[in-house]
Amino acid sequence: MTKPCDLSGIGVLVTRPAGQADGLCRLIEAAGGRAIALPAACIAPVVDPEPARTLLAAPWDLLIFVSRNAVEQAMPLCPGGRLPEGPAIAAVGQATARALSAAGRDPDLVPGGRFDSEALLAMDAMEDVLGFRILIVRGEGGRATLGETLVRRGARVAYAEVYRRLLPEIDPTQLMERWHCDIQLATATSDEILMNLLHLVTPSGRDALLATPLVVVSERTAELARSLGFVRVEVADRAGDPEILVALCRATRPAPAPE
């Protein structure tokens, strides 16, 4: 792959959960940059998996998996440890689709363009769902937009919550002491990761973080970042690692003048 830019001398804070950041770190390093991993969220099973186990065993017309984590954490709860063959399966994004394929079933529905709930809802197949029994497989306290919209369209919706997002126990002291030398760009691939990152750097490191150009993967997270005081925010075209790298490249260039 042709490098979209030269990141030599640039340190990039990668905040994805442990085990999910390797691809982006490799791309950053291939472009000459330094990838600095600071997992700002960790993924754990729910305390009581029985409600989700019961739901995953019930009959549905459509299962919607909202993330790679949802797939990976749901598999042990599915009957026989396998995805059901009856219902159609939808993935919100490409990483989720790859996880489903690896688990034994290619998804029937994957949105094109941006990979988020809104893009899935815009698909023709999601317009006429009157009377459909739909199970949304997600983490605890996930966004309400997808389910609420489907209910308005006449579907019967339930949620199988199969994982929790936890704030990791990290001491950022050393990182903050060298922030201005080591970190020139930061990433946050969800609202929760962004808020956790602010918590992890503590009030004393907040100004340094807010002054660091930030790359996010949705306009929703960009709006949150700007409301928190981030000076510069770049939105990747998609949530994939190559698109995040391109946005990091944009963040190294002078910000466009306001119109």
Indicate the pTM of the whole model.
Answer: 0.84
Coil, strand or helix: which one is 113? coil
Angle subtended at Cα 186 by Cα 183 and Cα 191, rounded to the nearest 5 degrees:
150
**Of 24, 71, 63, 83, residue with least CA distance to 43:** 71
Coil, strand or helix: which one is 61? coil
Contacts of residue 19, defined as CB under 8 A and 6 or more positions apart, other chains included, come to none
pLDDT at 157: 97
pLDDT at 250: 95
Within 10 A of 159 (CB to CB), how many other CB atoms are there?
A: 22
Task: Give the pLDDT of the chain (259 residues) as one tens digit per residue.
Answer: 567 899 999 999 999 998 889 999 999 999 999 999 999 999 999 999 999 999 999 999 999 999 999 999 999 999 999 999 889 999 998 889 999 999 999 999 999 766 678 889 999 999 999 999 999 999 998 778 899 999 999 999 999 999 999 889 888 888 899 999 999 999 999 899 999 999 999 888 999 999 999 999 988 899 999 999 999 999 998 888 999 999 999 999 987 766 5
Going by CATH, does the domain composed of 44-166 fall within 3.40.50.10090?
A: yes
Copy the structure tokens of residue 161.
């919550």
Phi-psi region of 202 (alpha: psi -120 to 50; beta: other; left: phi over 0): left
Pairwise CA distance, residues 252 & 257, whole Å? 15
Q: What is the DSSP letter of 17?
A: P
Going by CATH, does the domain composed of 11-41+169-251 fall within 3.40.50.10090?
A: yes
Domains 11-41+169-251 and 44-166 agree in fold: yes
pLDDT at 226: 97
**What are the DSSP E strand ranges found in 144-232?**
156-166, 185-188, 214-216
**Of 135, 164, 114, 109, residue with least CA distance to 53:** 135
The bridge status of strand 156-166 relative to strand 42-45 is antiparallel
pLDDT at 257: 61
Q: What is the DSSP letter of 194?
A: H
* Boundaries of every domain in the chain: 11-41+169-251, 44-166
8-47 residue pLDDT tens: 999 999 999 988 899 999 999 999 999 999 999 999 999 9
Pairwise CA distance, residues 48 & 161, whole Å? 10
Contacts of residue 31, defined as CB under 8 A and 6 or more positions apart, other chains included, come to 3, 4, 5, 6, 7, 245, 249
